[in-house]
């Protein structure tokens, strides 16, 4: 039976960051991961030569935790344009970030989606948060739907652009999410330019795992924890098909696990369809949303290879389409909507995989809680974006917080 100072259950972003901090502090720590790879939800598989992330992911280099703990240059980030294409009944409109793409401002204003009253309402809603994050952290929080109503944000900008775009980010197509959280999220998107690593989103946890190993943490894959029992001298951790292990403290970083017996936010889910095609339907790399309300389940789609050529073999292209779960959409329905959104014949496109990520992220209901306790009070600790905010930022910060709590308690 092996003994450690700390056992971290789960090699997702939170667990890896936690293990790194503990190892850097000189603690004997091991990470146990039930899967065959690190990353949890941040995973990339190679299917027929295509890089398929587990659902559609983007990495925002503006997150403070990314700047602090991740070597973004080593990830060779392929960045999306700070723009969105909007499929309407009679045309395709394209909206761009006015500061990042100043030459496209006229095209944005001519789209018919943004008028003077829309700009004023948008400024009332998110302007103060763009100036200072503190604006979103003070005052009364409410649902996004209610906040937009109060700001007077109505019409095409709301219905055809913001609603479908944010539905794919939040896994919420009813605007029930905390308004404060959404404003913070919009601020981070405005300050950064998100993208994907050249080798897929799985390159992020792979880098974090290497950092953890260099710090002295052990990482064991295909180790499924089946029990944690409190003993006189610490915790007894049972592992399926392996010898049990002991530790003075256990950090549970496995996501929204109902067996934890603690109050957790409910999960929100996303479904992503991955298609291969010989010819890209466009050379535009911008995310495209369906501004024709309720014309189909897809909330966004993108030609991944227009941003990251590394996601497909030479001469091939990769297209993703994302829906909010629950979704009963058939493959035929998805193809029909994609054909309309891209103005292309999708019948020859080859379906590579469909990802139903039921627990894509924890719901962020109002009022927003930026911090939840990482201590169980019995020598076990929690890490994951359900402890902070539903984001890569939140996952990394929660791992750091859990490690600091463990170090403080062990020292005491």
Within a domain: residue 227?
A: yes
Residue 124 phi/psi, 5° resolution? -65, -40
Query: Per the confidence metrics, is the pTM higher than 0.75?
Result: yes
Element (H, E) at 409: helix 392-411
Question: Is there a single domain that holds both residue 31 and residue 156?
Answer: no
* CATH number of the domain enclosing 260: 3.50.50.60
Judgement on whether residues 217 and 182 belong to the same structural domain of the protein: no
Each residue's pLDDT, cut to its tens digit, for the chain (412 residues) gives 578 999 999 999 999 999 999 999 999 999 999 999 999 999 999 999 999 999 999 999 999 999 999 999 999 999 999 899 999 998 999 998 765 655 565 676 677 788 889 889 999 999 999 999 999 999 899 999 999 999 999 989 999 999 999 999 999 999 999 999 999 999 998 888 999 999 999 999 999 999 999 999 999 999 999 988 888 778 999 999 999 999 999 999 987 665 566 677 899 999 999 999 999 999 999 999 999 977 899 999 999 999 999 999 999 999 999 999 999 999 999 999 999 999 999 999 999 999 999 999 999 999 999 999 999 988 999 999 999 999 999 999 999 999 999 999 999 8
Enclosing domain of residue 403:
2-43+202-265+365-411
Last residue of a domain, one of 191, 215, 240: 191
Write down the pLDDT at residue 109: 67
Q: For residues 187 and 117, state if they share a domain.
A: yes
Q: Is the peptide bond before 326 cis (omega within 30 degrees of 0)?
A: yes
Residues 139-168 as b/e (b if ≥16 CB within 10 A, e otherwise) read eebbbbbebbeebebeebbbebbbbbbbbb
Domain shared by 36 and 162, yes or no: no
In a domain, 140, yes or no: yes
Cα within 13 Å of Cα(194), Cβ side: 20
Distance of CA 357 to the CA centre of its chain: 11
Q: What is the pLDDT of residue 260?
A: 60
Q: Which of 161, 191, 221 is the last residue of a domain?
A: 191
Task: Tell me how many domains the chain contains.
Answer: 2
pLDDT of residue 258: 57
Q: Which residues contact 411 (CB under 8 A, 6 or more apart)?
A: none
Assess whether 31 and 140 both reside in one domain. Answer: no
Query: Positive or negative CA dihedral for 394, 395, 398, 403?
Result: negative
Assigned domain for 177 exists: yes
Last residue of a domain, one of 191, 216, 248: 191
Q: Do 172 and 214 share a domain, yes or no?
A: no
Closest by CA to 349, choosing from 320, 328, 326, is 320
Q: Is residue 351 part of a domain?
A: no
Residues 249 and 390 placed together within one structural domain of the fold: yes
Q: Are 170 and 239 found together in one domain?
A: no
Helix boundaries (H) for 303-353: 304-307, 331-342
């Amino acid at each position: 039976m092996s003994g450690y100072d700390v056992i971290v259950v789960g090699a997702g972003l939170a667990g890896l960051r936690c293990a790194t901090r503990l190892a850097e502090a000189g603690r004997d720590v091991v990470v146990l991961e039930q899967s065959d790879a690190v990353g949890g939800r941040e995973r990339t598989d190679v299917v027929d030569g295509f890089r398929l992330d587990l659902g559609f992911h983007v990495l925002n280099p503006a997150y403070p935790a990314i700047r602090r703990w991740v070597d973004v240059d080593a990830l060779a980030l392929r960045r999306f344009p700070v723009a969105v294409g909007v499929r309407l009944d009679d045309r395709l409109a394209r909206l761009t970030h006015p500061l990042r793409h100043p030459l496209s401002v006229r095209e944005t204003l001519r789209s018919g989606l943004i008028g003077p009253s829309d700009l004023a309402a948008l400024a009332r809603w998110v302007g103060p948060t763009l100036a200072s994050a503190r604006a979103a952290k003070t005052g009364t929080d409410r649902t996004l739907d209610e906040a937009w109503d109060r700001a007077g944000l109505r019409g095409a900008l709301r219905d055809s652009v913001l609603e479908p775009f944010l539905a794919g980010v939040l896994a919420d197509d009813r605007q029930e999410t905390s308004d404060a959280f959404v404003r913070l999220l919009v601020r981070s998107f405005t300050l950064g330019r998100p993208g994907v690593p050249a080798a897929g989103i799985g390159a992020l946890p792979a880098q974090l795992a290497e950092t953890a190993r260099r710090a002295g943490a052990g990482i064991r894959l295909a180790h499924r924890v089946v029990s944690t029992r409190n003993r006189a001298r610490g915790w007894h951790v049972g592992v399926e098909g392996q010898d049990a292990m002991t530790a003075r403290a256990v950090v549970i970083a496995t996501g929204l696990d109902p067996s934890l017996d603690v109050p957790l936010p409910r999960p929100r889910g996303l479904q992503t369809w991955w298609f291969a095609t010989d010819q890209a339907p466009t050379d535009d790399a911008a995310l495209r949303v369906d501004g024709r309300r309720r014309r189909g389940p897809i909330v966004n789609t993108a030609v991944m290879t227009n941003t990251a050529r590394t996601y497909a073999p030479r001469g091939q292209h990769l297209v993703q389409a994302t829906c909010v779960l629950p979704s009963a959409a058939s493959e035929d329905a998805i193809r029909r909507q994609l054909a309309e959104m891209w103005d292309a014949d999708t019948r020859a496109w080859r379906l590579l995989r469909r990802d139903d990520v039921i627990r894509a992220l924890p719901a962020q209901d109002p009022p927003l809680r930026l911090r939840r306790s990482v201590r169980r009070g019995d020598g076990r600790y929690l890490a994951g974006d359900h402890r902070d905010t539903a984001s890569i930022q939140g996952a990394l910060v929660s791992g750091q917080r859990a490690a600091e709590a463990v170090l403080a308690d062990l020292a005491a």
